Copies of this chain bind each other. A is one copy, B any other.
Amino acid sequence: MTENIAANASHRIPPASKLVTLVGDYGTADFKLHRGGVLQEVVVAYESWGSLSDNHDNVILVFGGLSPSAHAASSPEDPSRGWWEFMIGPGKPIDTDRFYVVCVNSFGSCFGSTNPSSINPETGKAYGLDFPDVSIEDIAKSAHHALQDLGIDHLHAVVGGSMGGMSSLAYALMYPDEVDHLISISAAARALPFTIAVRSLQREIIRCDPGFKNGQYDADEEPTHGMMLARKLGLMSYRASEEWHQRFNRARISPDRKSDERFGIEFEVESYLDYNAKKFVRTFDANSYLYLSRAMDLFDVAEHGGSVNAGLAKIQAKSSLIIGVETDILFPVQQQEELAEGIQRAGRKAEYIQLNSINGHDSFLVDEAHFGPVVRNFFDQT
């Protein structure tokens, strides 16, 4: 184990993120990936909050969705707002006065962990599309091994939303003896075809951008058009129609903000999408996006035992909390019920809570009023 920012330096690593370098896997020389790829070295970026108890029994592992870094909350080293700022901190629902909270940047993501823009030691250049397939199981395993290197071999809880919920499910069923509690938010045992279609189109949009150059774009010449369009589609699938109805309805942008461009922006909702997509493009790497997006399509709990229920039966957490949102069109509520029922069917305690947040799939990131009390209450009982 080494901690060395310089070894995998990137402009994208948040200032408080630390790096763990895993050399090999379970004492072997290679880190074997779930779908057959092999890497000699895997780096995992993470941030942490709170204090590790003497017997290391107060750890909560947090997995992010597809796009965030390990910077889930602010800290003295990085006072900027984290992506789950309302959830993690002293006295907050995931209470850092009580827990030692670790958030990892997912394997394959561009915020410090090994990813397609990492250097391939065999060529001395970035992997690009030569990077092996990324799976949700690899995200779970790399986080697991990184925690082991940090001296943590047991979790009070693993928690995540969206892709992070899938990673949490994978972690809980791959390391059943090491997880006491599980929270899966707006995730699924496996994606529906509509959800696959949305992500497939996002990937195709990026790949069709002439600037993509089959993944060999320069770091300063990314396929920004494709990434912007893909992000807009993402935002449409992450949020909910009714939210925009209430927020924008048919409001027009003011004449001074209009361009002369034919079919340019006319409505406030178009302007909102444009603003947010431009913001995203400056932060996220296109190849990372493709690999993680596909990993979500391919993830299937049924691979762990032959059926979704057989896979879920591997989870041995003392209690699980499954949270779903009525307005989520990507991971709709019936998929949340499937998770809770599958865990219950195996004789384990699992509660399903359905929230009527108006913010769709992204609700867990923005709807403190609904999510804060539910998560707080869960940990009050653990």
Knowing A208-B229, A273-B200, A329-B241, the reply to whether A193 touches B263 (Cβ < 8 A) is no
Q: Encode A229-257 as 1/0 by CB contact (under 8 A) with B.
A: 10011001000110011011110000000
Knowing A201-B233, A229-B205, A233-B233, the reply to whether A194 touches B263 (Cβ < 8 A) is no
Looking at chain A's contact residues, the main secondary structure is: helix
Check A263 against B207 for contact (C-beta < 8 Å): yes
Q: Which of A94-102, A143-151, A168-176, A264-272 faces chain B?
A: A264-272
Check B194 against A245 for contact (C-beta < 8 Å): yes
Q: Encode A279-311 as 1/0 by CB contact (under 8 A) with B.
A: 000000000001000100110100000000000
Check A250 against B300 for contact (C-beta < 8 Å): yes
User: In the bound complex, what is the Cα–Cα distance between A359 and B261 (angstroms)?
Assistant: 36
* Interface status of A366 (Cβ within 8 A of chain B): no
Residue of A201, A207, A208, A298 contacting most chain B CB atoms (<10 Å): A201
Q: Which residues of B lie under 8 Å from residue A229 when comparing CB positions? A: 201, 204-205, 208
Residue of A192, A195, A262 contacting most chain B CB atoms (<10 Å): A262
Check B269 against A236 for contact (C-beta < 8 Å): no
Query: Can you list 29 pairs linking A and B with CB atoms under 8 Å apart?
Result: A192-B241, A193-B241, A193-B249, A193-B250, A193-B269, A194-B269, A196-B250, A196-B267, A196-B269, A197-B244, A197-B269, A197-B273, A200-B269, A200-B273, A201-B233, A201-B236, A201-B273, A204-B232, A204-B263, A205-B205, A208-B225, A208-B229, A210-B210, A215-B262, A241-B329, A263-B294, A266-B294, A266-B297, A266-B298
Knowing A208-B225, A250-B300, the reply to whether A197 touches B236 (Cβ < 8 A) is yes
* Interface status of A181 (Cβ within 8 A of chain B): no
Contacts beyond the supplied A190-B250, A193-B248, A194-B244: 19 A-B pairs with Cβ under 8 Å: A129-B262, A191-B250, A193-B245, A193-B267, A193-B269, A196-B250, A197-B232, A198-B236, A200-B267, A200-B269, A201-B273, A203-B263, A208-B225, A210-B210, A214-B262, A233-B233, A241-B332, A262-B290, A263-B290
Closest 7 CB pairs of A and B: A194-B241, A193-B269, A193-B244, A193-B248, A129-B262, A200-B270, A201-B232
User: In the bound complex, what is the Cα–Cα distance between A198 and B191 (angstroms)?
Assistant: 22
Instruction: Mark out the residues of chain A between 107 and 129 whose CB falls within 8 Å of any chain B CB in the assembled complex.
Output: 129
CB nearest neighbor in B for A233: B201
Instruction: Mark out the residues of chain A between 147 and 166 whose CB falls within 8 Å of any chain B CB in the assembled complex.
Output: none
CB nearest neighbor in B for A270: B200
A7 to B: closest C-beta gap in Å = 27
A374 to B: closest C-beta gap in Å = 26
CB nearest neighbor in B for A131: B262
User: In the bound complex, what is the Cα–Cα distance between A192 and B193 (angstroms)?
Assistant: 25
User: In the bound complex, what is the Cα–Cα distance between A189 and B268 (angstroms)?
Assistant: 19
CB nearest neighbor in B for A332: B241
A41 to B: closest C-beta gap in Å = 23
Q: Which residues of B lie under 8 Å from residue A194 when comparing CB positions? A: 236, 240-241, 244-245, 269
Residue of A197, A210, A268, A294 contacting most chain B CB atoms (<10 Å): A197
User: In the bound complex, what is the Cα–Cα distance between A308 and B297 (angstroms)?
Assistant: 42
Q: Which residues of B lie under 8 Å from residue A201 when comparing CB positions? A: 229, 232-233, 236, 273
Instruction: Mark out the residues of chain A between 57 and 89 whose CB falls within 8 Å of any chain B CB in the assembled complex.
Output: none
User: In the bound complex, what is the Cα–Cα distance between A231 and B197 (angstroms)?
Assistant: 12
Q: Which residues of B lie under 8 Å from residue A273 when comparing CB positions? A: 197, 200-201
